[in-house]
Amino acid sequence: MRNSLKLVGNLDILKSSHGIALTVGVFDGVHIGHHHLLKSILARAHEIGASSAVVTFDPHPQRVIAPGSEPLLLTTVDERVQLIRSVGIDVVGILRFTRKISRMSAEEFIDMLLKHFALAELWMGPDSAFGYRRQGTPQVLSEIGGRKGFVVRVVSQKRDDGNVISSTQIRTVLLLGDVSEAATLLGRPYALVGVVVTGFERGRDLGFPTANVVPPPGLLVPANGIYAVRVRVGQRDYDGVLNIGVRPTFDDGVGRSIEVHIIDFVGNLYGQQIRLEFIQRLRDETRFASVQQLVEQIKKDVELARVVLQR
């Protein structure tokens, strides 16, 4: 079981501090609600001279417990670790979630954590629970902590207009194409990374070459439409216009694609990984009566994207 947990970060501090302030969860998206919890842990760890740590799951527990019911993800596990570490957390543990772990009792799960962490405080949301059939509620874990030498802290959930901020809420707005609202809830623009593959190269024929991007499987792709995006190529950022959809003007029947025109970019991107940051949705995907009408609209999209991205 020890090999099921991969630790990333300042591992030396785990032994040199006065215990660990720890929280456990998926943390998909690492949104501003998560930041509220993580910053509370950081402040408390500093106060008591402890280290801070987070354990996240890979894959998503629902994929193991009820295959096919798992949600589309907002972040890859590597992005999740990077985002958690960027808040200031000392160590992130990536727990390989298995059927065996899913059937652990709350106390067995705690015992597994104690093999890795000198646990001083376990931080949870008021509705959090883990262990088989979510038996590890804050109340149950407080009793276990009383016997095993750690304290359970329950932190209130971050709210937006009275609603609890959640990864589910962010998925909902992204699937509606509202990337601006998603950015508000995330605390940053929603982003996708993906590899550039060969496409139809119709954009090149139209005077607006595009990169056809394929993200990792299981990640959420926002609603079909045209978006102003920032594009990271290597270490440089560019402005771009992104189309998600089925190219209705051509009606090629190939299916959904993600194609980005990178403004003022010249070069070959095939096989490279690029990053797309969604800044604003510009319009719906539309079927045009002619290719020339499509070209005229793309020109307008590019100019509007320039304005949006210069704000």
| Rounded alpha-carbon distances, angstroms, from residue 119 to 23, 88, 149, 305 | 10, 18, 8, 49
| Rounded alpha-carbon distances, angstroms, from residue 86 to 38, 81, 92, 188 | 11, 9, 11, 13
Check whether 163 has a pLDDT greater than 80: no
Q: How confident is the model at residue 237 (pLDDT cuts 50, 70, 90)?
A: very high
Residue pointed to by tokens 């994929």 = 63
| Strand pairing category for 119-124 and 20-24 | parallel
**Between 11 and 253, the higher pLDDT residue:** 11
- 158: DSSP letter: P
Region 151-166 average pLDDT: 82
pLDDT of residue 174: 98
Check whether 247 has a pLDDT greater than 80: no
pLDDT of residue 60: 95
Please report, for the chain, the start and end positions of each structural domain, with discontinuous segments joined by +. 2-164, 189-309
**Between 307 and 207, the higher pLDDT residue:** 307
Q: How confident is the model at residue 290 (pLDDT cuts 50, 70, 90)?
A: confident
Region 148-164 average pLDDT: 83
Distance CA 296, CA 278 (A): 23
Q: What kind of fold does domain 189-309 have according to CATH?
A: Elongation Factor Tu (Ef-tu); domain 3 (2.40.30)
Q: How confident is the model at residue 203 (pLDDT cuts 50, 70, 90)?
A: low
Lowest mean pLDDT, pick from 49-58, 59-68, 179-188, 241-250: 241-250
Is 0.85 surpassed by the pTM of this model? Answer: yes
Closest CA to 273 of 87, 86, 78, 83: 78
Q: How confident is the model at residue 252 (pLDDT cuts 50, 70, 90)?
A: low
| Backbone torsions φ then ψ of 97, nearest 5 degrees | -80, 125
In the chain, % of residues over pLDDT 70: 93
- Specify whether the CB–CB gap between 183 and 189 falls below 8 A: yes
Region 93-120 average pLDDT: 95
Check whether 207 has a pLDDT greater than 70: yes
Lowest mean pLDDT, pick from 38-52, 146-160, 269-283: 146-160
pLDDT of residue 306: 96
| Backbone torsions φ then ψ of 217, nearest 5 degrees | -65, 145
pLDDT of residue 250: 67
Is CATH 3.40.50.300 the right assignment for the domain spanning 2-164? no
Lowest mean pLDDT, pick from 19-28, 54-63, 123-132, 141-150: 123-132
Region 173-180 average pLDDT: 98
